Amino acid sequence: MIVTVLAFFLTLGVLIVVHEYGHYRVAVACGVRVLRFSIGFGRVLWRRQPRPDGTELVVCALPFGGYVRMLDEREGAVTPAELDCAFNRKPLWQRALIVAAGPAANLLLAVALYSVAHWIGVDEPKALLGPPAAASVAERAGMRAGDWVRAWSSDGSEWHDARSLTDLRWQVTQSMLRGEDIDLLVSAREGHGQRRVHLELAALAAGDVDAKTMQRIGLGNPWSEPVLGEVKAQFRPEFVNRIDEIVVFHALDEKHIKSIARIQLGLLEKRLAKMEIKLEVSDAALTEIVSIGFDPVYGARPLRRAIQTEIENPLAKQILEGEFAAKDTILVDAVKRKIVFEKAVEKAAQQTARRKSAENKP
């Protein structure tokens, strides 16, 4: 907190000094006598005047601005010998130049700082990935925690270096918006054992990029080493001695989420069994529920809401409308990423009809 406050005042001080110095330098260049160069307002903390007829340099208590006081007949008497040095006696273009010099100096400072930052460069994390989100495109493609993406290709023949994690995410996003798949050249964290990974982004068909879309892609956060050894470095021995055990919580993967989903659906099956209705959920429907109800931040917490929204509520409505009744077996499936419900008898009849149709074709 203290460092942040000090950095704020330092930055503000630099801006004020550069701003007022712009006024000062142009005023001197135009032949205007500058009486005082002040940084801040209020009570004077420091004052220096190198020559009796020179500019008084002042630092005041409130560092929220500054000013340059120039010789001006409108603010006091001016001797005839100094009339040529008065601000109000200068031509309009010179006065305008003096006034505009402060903002212009800040603009030049910004250009200089951005140029230096561009020349020096900005450190960015390399494309070393953490664990991919469960049930995401990256996980299905076989990406693992600690994978280092070395290059990418949109056509599978021309490869481009992945300069950083930001560059990789940008290229993946652009490929998704164009409706194209992308190939990644991936190695282990140490840089050996290269392999090729194909991300099927065309199936996402997203017109806009949001957090949900990036979750479905599944490129995780940057890889970070375990920091359990930092506990002793960060806490006093008296506190560390009171710790009985250190428990590491790992991110849930697709297998864990599916197990939780099966448990939740099992509770629904028991409730329907009391109504003499049997429920069967296909693997496709289970996978779709997992993709909807899993969040890398909240884990499996949204899963219960997804089951209620996608299965329980629509199914309850159809039961109330008489589409399903006692003794029915309801099949839950996913067709084109949409949860659908069918009776087992109707499903079997449809399969039989399709099989007979295929047999009757010449």
CA distances in angstroms from 14 to 19, 107, 149, listed in the order given: 8, 13, 41
269 is catalytic: no
Q: Which helix (H) or strand (E) holds 160?
A: strand 160-161
User: Whole-angstrom Cα distance, residue 348 to residue 328?
Assistant: 13
Query: Order of strands, edge to edge, in the sheet holding 329-335?
Result: 278-281, 329-335, 338-343
Residue type, 148: W
Could you tell me where the DSSP H helices lie in the chain? 2-29, 92-120, 137-140, 165-177, 211-217, 230-234, 237-240, 254-273, 283-293, 301-307, 313-320, 344-360
Choose, from 20, 254, 288, 342, the residue flagged as catalytic: 20
DSSP helix/strand/coil, 250: coil
| DSSP 8-class letter at 326 | T
* Total Cβ atoms within 10 A of residue 117: 10
Parallel, antiparallel, or unpaired for β 278-281 and 329-335?
parallel
Residue with tokens 């006065």: 95
Both tokens of 277, joined, read: 């209705």
Residue whose C-alpha is closest to residue 153's, from 201, 223, 193: 201
Is there a contact between 128 and 186 (Cβ–Cβ < 8 Å)? no
Whose tokens are 């007949």? That residue is 73
Q: What one-letter code names the amino acid at 7?
A: A
* Cα–Cα distance, 257 to 260 (Å, whole number): 5
DSSP state at residue 85: G
What is the dihedral angle through the alpha carbons of 318, 323, 327, 331, rounded to the nearest 10 degrees?
A: -70
Question: Coil, strand or helix: which one is 176?
Answer: helix
Q: Which residues participate in catalysis according to the annotation?
A: 20
